[in-house]
C-alpha cells in the first residue's frame, strides 16, 4: 500500500511539473462554474438518497427515525425474542417476565410456600392446559427449564448454575431471530457489504468528473482526477474488506494526493468542481452510516422500533395502574406486567423469591 501511495505521488508530481500546454482550455470564470456546481449538487443529492436507502436496508440506526407509540407488542415474536432484541440477553428479569406471561395465559400458577422456614417463598405449579399453542421459545421454557421433571418448580438451591442454564437459552433465541431475518448473521460482514455497495455507487461521480475535466480543462487534470478517484474508490472498497476499518487513513491518503491539484490549474476555485470537496463529505457519510449498523436487519430495526413504541405506552399508561394492582393483589399477572418487567420499568417479587 505504501509503495502504491508513493508511486501515485510521483505520477502526480510528474503531471504537475511537466511542461504541458495550459493555454488550450483556460480555466473558466465563476459564472461558468455554476452549471457544474448545480450538476454536482444533483449528483450528490442522488447519492445521499441512495446512501440513506442502503443504510435502511442494512438496519443502520442512523435512519431509525421517530418512535410511534404502540398499544400492543409486535406480532410474531415471543417475549424472549423481544427481550433479546432489547438488550441481547435473557436474565432474571426475562425469567420473571416469562413466568408472568405464562401465568397470564393459564399454563402455570404462582403460589406461596406456607412452611415457616420458607415462608413467603414462591413456587410454580403447572396447570393441565396443553402447550401445543405456545411458541417454540415458550414451550422450551416450560418443558426444559421449569417443568423438566414434574409439575412443580421450586426455587433452585444453586441459582448460579440454574441461571447459567437459562442463559444458554439465549443461543436458541438468537438463532431463531436470525432465521426470521431480524438479526444479521454476521455484523462485520454486513458492514463490509454496506461499505462495498456504497463505494461501488461512487462510479457515477468518477464519470462526471472525468467528463467535466475533459470538456472544460486539459488532459492533465482529467488524468489526475481519474487517478485520484480510482485510488479513493479502491480505498473505500479495500477498507470494507479489511479487518481494520480505518477511515482516517483514507482521509490522509486522499489529501496527500490532492496537494498538487490547485497548482496545476493555478486557481483555488477548482475545488468546487473536483472531488476535492465532495469525496471527504461522502466518506464522512459512509463512515457515519457504517458506524450505526448494529445487530438489526431492516426488518429487525422495524420490530425494535415497535418494541420501543410499546414501551412508551407501558411507561405512560400501564405502570401506574400495575403498581396499584400489585399493592392490592401481590400475585397479579398480566401481559402488561410481563413487558413492564422486560422493559425494566418495574420490580417484581419473582426476581428475588424464586
What is the secondary structure of 63-130 as a DSSP string? G--PPPP-SSPPTT--HHHHHHHHHS---HHHHHHHHHHHHHHTSEEEEE--SGGGTT-EEEEE-S--
CA-based nearest residue to 309, from 75, 77, 85, 68: 68
CA pair distance 194, 308, nearest whole angstrom: 26
* Cβ within 8 Å of residue 22, ≥6 positions away: 218, 265, 266
Averaged over 185-195, what is the pLDDT?
A: 87
Q: Which residues are registered as beta bridge partners of 110?
A: 124
Q: By CB neighbour count within 10 A (0-12 exposed, 13-18 middle, 19+ buried), where does 61 fall?
A: middle
CA pair distance 30, 207, nearest whole angstrom: 22
3-state SS, residue 320: helix
Most confident of 1-10, 154-163, 317-326: 317-326
> What's CA 136's distance to the chain center, in Å?
26
Q: Are 55 and 62 in contact (CB under 8 A)?
A: yes
The three cell numbers of residue 348 are: 417484581
How far apart, in Å, are the Cα atoms of 111 and each of 53, 108, 282, 286, 332?
A: 52, 10, 61, 55, 11
Average pLDDT in the chain: 77
Averaged over 32-54, what is the pLDDT?
A: 84
What confidence tier does 308 reach under pLDDT thresholds 50, 70, 90? very high
What confidence tier does 242 reach under pLDDT thresholds 50, 70, 90? low
Pairing of strands 108-112, 122-126: antiparallel
Residue 22 predicted with pLDDT over 50: no
CA pair distance 191, 292, nearest whole angstrom: 9
The three cell numbers of residue 294 are: 448494529
pLDDT at 215: 72
Measured from the Cβ of residue 157, the count of other Cβ atoms closer than 10 Å reads 7
- Element (DSSP H or E) covering residue 152: strand 152-153
Q: What are the domain boundaries of the chain?
A: 2-65+187-291, 79-179+297-353
What confidence tier does 113 reach under pLDDT thresholds 50, 70, 90? confident
CA pair distance 145, 14, nearest whole angstrom: 73
3-state SS, residue 176: helix
Residue 233 predicted with pLDDT over 80: no
CA pair distance 233, 225, nearest whole angstrom: 12
Order across the sheet with 108-112: list the strands: 108-112, 122-126, 152-153
Q: Are 198 and 55 in contact (CB under 8 A)?
A: no
pLDDT at 292: 87
pLDDT at 137: 86
Residue for cell digits 439465549? 170
Query: Which of 41 and 266 is assigned the larger pLDDT?
Result: 41
pLDDT at 227: 75
Any idea what the Cα angle at residue 108 is, between residues 333 and 79, rounded to 5°?
60
Share of the chain above pLDDT 90, in %: 6
Amino acid at each position: 500500500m505504501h509503495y502504491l501511495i508513493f508511486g501515485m505521488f510521483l505520477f502526480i508530481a510528474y503531471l504537475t511539473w511537466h511542461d504541458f500546454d495550459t493555454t488550450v482550455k483556460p480555466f473558466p470564470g465563476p459564472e461558468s462554474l455554476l452549471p457544474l456546481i448545480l450538476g454536482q449538487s444533483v449528483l450528490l443529492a442522488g447519492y445521499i438518497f441512495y446512501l440513506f436507502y442502503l443504510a435502511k436496508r442494512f438496519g443502520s440506526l442512523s435512519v431509525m427515525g421517530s418512535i410511534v407509540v404502540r398499544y400492543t407488542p409486535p406480532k410474531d415474536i415471543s417475549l424472549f425474542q423481544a427481550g433479546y432484541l432489547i438488550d441481547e440477553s435473557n436474565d432474571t428479569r426475562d425469567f420473571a417476565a416469562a413466568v408472568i406471561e405464562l401465568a397470564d395465559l393459564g399454563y402455570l400458577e404462582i403460589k406461596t410456600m406456607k412452611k415457616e422456614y420458607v415462608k413467603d417463598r414462591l413456587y410454580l405449579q403447572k396447570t393441565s392446559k396443553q402447550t401445543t399453542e405456545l411458541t417454540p421459545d415458550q414451550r422450551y421454557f416450560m418443558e426444559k427449564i421449569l417443568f423438566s421433571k414434574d409439575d412443580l418448580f421450586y426455587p433452585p438451591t444453586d441459582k448460579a448454575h440454574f441461571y447459567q442454564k437459562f442463559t444458554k437459552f439465549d443461543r436458541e433465541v438468537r438463532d431463531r431471530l436470525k432465521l426470521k431475518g431480524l438479526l444479521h448473521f454476521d455484523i462485520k460482514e454486513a458492514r463490509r457489504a454496506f461499505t462495498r455497495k456504497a463505494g461501488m455507487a461512487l462510479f457515477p461521480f468518477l464519470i462526471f468528473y472525468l467528463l467535466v475535466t475533459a470538456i472544460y480543462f486539459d488532459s492533465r487534470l482529467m488524468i489526475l482526477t481519474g487517478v485520484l478517484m480510482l485510488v479513493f474508490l479502491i480505498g473505500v472498497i479495500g477498507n470494507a474488506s479489511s479487518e481494520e476499518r480505518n477511515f482516517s487513513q483514507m482521509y490522509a491518503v486522499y489529501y496527500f494526493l490532492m496537494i498538487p491539484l490547485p497548482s496545476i490549474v493555478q486557481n483555488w476555485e477548482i475545488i468546487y468542481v473536483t472531488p476535492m470537496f465532495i469525496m471527504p463529505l461522502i466518506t464522512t457519510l459512509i463512515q457515519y452510516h457504517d458506524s450505526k449498523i448494529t445487530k438489526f436487519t431492516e426488518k429487525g430495526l422495524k420490530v425494535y422500533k415497535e418494541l420501543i413504541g410499546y414501551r412508551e405506552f407501558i411507561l405512560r399508561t400501564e405502570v401506574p395502574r400495575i403498581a396499584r394492582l400489585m399493592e392490592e393483589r401481590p400475585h397479579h399477572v398480566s401481559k402488561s406486567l410481563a413487558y413492564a418487567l422486560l422493559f425494566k420499568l418495574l420490580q417484581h417479587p419473582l426476581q428475588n423469591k424464586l
